[in-house]
Amino acid sequence: MPLPPDRRRQLGAFLRSRRERRTPDEVGLPRTARRRTPGLRREELAFLAGISATWYTYLEQGREIRASEQVLTALAEALRLDRHERAHLLQLAGHAAAAESEAREPLKDEVAAVPQLLQPNPAYIIGGNYDVLSHNRAADDLFPRLLGNEAERPANFVRWMFLEPVARDVVVDWEPEARGLLARLRTQAGRHPADPRYTGLIDELTEGSPEARSWWRQYEVQTRHSGHKRLRHPARGPVEYAYTAFHLAEQPDQTLVVYVDSSALTTAAPATPDS
């Protein structure tokens, strides 16, 4: 089945973005004196992947052609993509395992109750497109104006990050955090290319935020993960939090995120054996 035009354009944009990031030195090619474009030329990448330069150009331009999984793997090898980027490439080209149905189950009551059990640690559950499906009071306090408009539309963490001005004050390292969040949304959107919950959100972000509009074109991809984040607590000021993401077994797009003050985390010293 041929890919729809929008999917072909996304595939071409992703390949182009990765080609422009690779230098001849990185892939063992001689560097010529004059280069008009950054990164590899199309014919250089085609040579490395063992395919026709004309055919590759058509692929990058979004022409109505179909790339085999073998060709895509060769391109991924030539571009030195990591495993997340390879998976995203295959998904865009229609070769990944079929994504689960867009009509997902609602959040179960017993799952929705979990953030309340984690009070006073901020905790929430998000869907694949970062809609906030459940949260506790500590999360409401830590992320002001994130959860207050649910009567109008679902609270959404990415929308809050880019379109709610208070987010830039709450998230101390706003730019790297926002870029990473957008990259994770890109990865999720690639798994659900026709889902209006993603396409509508992306349109809203790129229309309302110059940063989202610029960074979206750079085609960063990233998976959800645990880590550390500096947030401005309403009473305590800047606090470094360790956060952990737990994917729900029955709904892997749904994720429980829990924040813990890093200063409260201690590693127990190993017991000293008796003499």
Q: Identify whether 71 is part of a domain.
A: yes
Q: Which residues of the chain have pLDDT under 70?
A: 1, 32-35, 96-105, 148-153, 266-275
How much is the pLDDT for 113? 95
How much is the pLDDT for 101? 38
Sole residue written with tokens 């993509």: 81
User: Within this chain, do residues 85 and 137 fall inside the same structural domain, yes or no?
Assistant: no
Task: Give the structural domain span for 217.
Answer: 109-264
51/71 Cα distance (integer angstroms): 8
How much is the pLDDT for 271? 52
Q: Supply 158's token pair.
A: 């990415």
Edge to edge, the sheet with strand 132-135 lists 132-135, 123-126, 255-261, 237-247, 227-233
Sole residue written with tokens 């179909």: 66
Closest by CA to 217, choosing from 231, 228, 237, 202, is 202
> Of the residues 39, 66, 92, which one is the last residue of a structural domain?
92
192/100 Cα distance (integer angstroms): 9
Say if CB 125 and CB 139 are below 8 A apart: no
Closest by CA to 219, choosing from 74, 10, 2, is 10
Report the CATH number at residue 78.
Answer: 1.10.260.40
Q: Where are the alpha helices (DSSP H) in 20-151?
A: 42-49, 53-60, 69-79, 83-92, 109-112, 114-117, 137-142
Say if pTM beats, i.e. exceeds, 0.75. no
> Of the residues 62, 92, 122, which one is the last residue of a structural domain?
92
